[in-house]
Amino acid sequence: MQFRLSGHFTYRRLLRFVISPILMMICTSIYGVIDGFFVSNFIGKTAFAAVNLMMPVYLVAVAIGFMIGEGGNAIISKTLGEGNRVLANQYFSLLVYVSSFIGLLLSIGGWLFIPQIAAGLGAHGELSRYCITYGRIILASQCFYVLQNVFQSFFIASGKPDLSLKVAIAAGLTNALLDLIFIVVLQWGIVGAAWATALGQMAGGLIPLFYFMHRNSSFLRLTSTPLYPKILLKTFTNGSSDMVSVLSGSVVSIIYNYQLMAFAGENGLAAYGAMMYVNFIFMSIFLGYASGSAPLISFQHGAKNYPELHNLFKKSLILVSAAGIIITLIAEISAYPILKMFVGYDQELLLMSVHGFRIYSVAFLFMGLNIWGTAFFTALNNGLISAAISFLRTFGFELAAILLLPRWLGIDGVWSAIFTAEFCSVLVTACFIIKKRSYYRY
């Protein structure tokens, strides 16, 4: 099914357009949750801690993919809105080729330097051995993971948001099925977990690559293209907020790990890991909506259809705000049964995880507005504002909170850092929205 980017969007039509990206993000997060479930329950707490310790490292591929995907998405959608399909295909092709090259460099670098990376993260002894074994396999597949994240955005710009969901399901099922075979049946341990994830990422990157290489029914197809340095610079600048968000989150996660090791040792790492898997599920709803609605904003901005731009802005603000309230309530109620799936074998660890997550989950009230606000300005091709919101949210405010709050609140300061950061960020987001409403006429 192909969706038009033009025309008037009622609530029903808007939700139909964004539902595939939302479900795609949810599926991706759930398959990550399945990874954590198998590692924690069938390999052990130390292996689970190692996987979580390595997570900020392989999120670099996500950062690159989001930067090129979301930044390029805005440019491609705007170009399509201006009616220049040939040029849009050239921009699309250039960004895919550049993504492949960057991903290859990440794969080579990750393979070569994983021992030094593990040591720098503070891993020692058995924890270090798990990190190196798992990290070497995962980082070698980063070329495909970059492409997977890039194509998630480009499927939406191509008018095929449903295909992003289908690819996510295919990649996720590959990962989950191989987890079962490699970890439970063949008992390959951490090696099996790493190969299951790596092969899932390969599926997620190669399937869309083959799709766009051939004639298809979407707006986009891979073609020959000249080098457009200004488009590359605009993509990197415009998508910098997404890269900043993920990379800052990775750096902050490392600080979280250090603080948790100091307050609770290996149990703290395992609790935080379990909480993050649950967090990914809820946060994926906001990410999916932001990713799905961004091409609509870019298209209407390019077409100078200001009444429809205002319509999308107003409806998005209402939907995201309502979702924040609902998700917070669900997270508070479901914390115990969900976290029990990961760490139910250790009652002390389970109680620590549930207590921490109930403090953490209040942040969902504001998280969606900040994620959508960042994507909104990216879609308007204002990478500077989106990067500012993203940097303050995921690095400035959160880093300050994680360093300062534990001094007064102990481990509860660690869990409440995210709420503090999201609350401060939503004030910044609101200021930018108010300040720029006349300029962009939304």
Q: What is the pLDDT of residue 212?
A: 92
Q: What is the pLDDT of residue 181?
A: 95
Contact residues for 212 (Cβ-Cβ < 8 A; gap 6+): 92, 96, 151, 154, 158, 218, 220, 221, 222
Q: What is the pLDDT of residue 5?
A: 65
Contact call for residues 209 and 237 (beta carbons, < 8 A): no
Q: What is the pLDDT of residue 392?
A: 86
Indicate the pTM of the whole model.
Answer: 0.71
Q: What is the pLDDT of residue 183?
A: 94
Q: What is the pLDDT of residue 241?
A: 64
Per-residue pLDDT of the chain (442 residues; tens, 9 = 90+): 555 666 788 888 888 888 878 887 887 777 667 777 888 888 887 888 788 778 777 778 877 888 898 788 878 888 887 888 889 899 999 999 999 999 999 888 888 888 888 887 777 888 889 989 998 898 888 889 999 989 988 887 787 877 877 888 888 889 889 999 999 999 999 999 999 999 999 999 999 999 999 888 888 889 999 989 899 988 888 777 667 666 666 777 778 877 877 777 767 777 887 888 788 889 889 988 998 888 888 888 878 888 899 999 999 999 999 999 999 999 999 999 988 887 777 788 888 889 989 999 999 999 999 999 988 998 887 878 887 888 888 778 988 998 899 888 888 888 999 899 999 999 999 999 999 988 888 8
Alpha-carbon distance 439 to 435, whole Å?
8
Q: What is the pLDDT of residue 434?
A: 92
Contact residues for 360 (Cβ-Cβ < 8 A; gap 6+): 275, 279, 415, 416, 418, 419
Alpha-carbon distance 383 to 372, whole Å?
14
Cα-Cα-Cα-Cα dihedral sign, residues 158, 162, 164, 166: negative
Contact residues for 156 (Cβ-Cβ < 8 A; gap 6+): 21, 73, 164, 291, 292, 294, 295
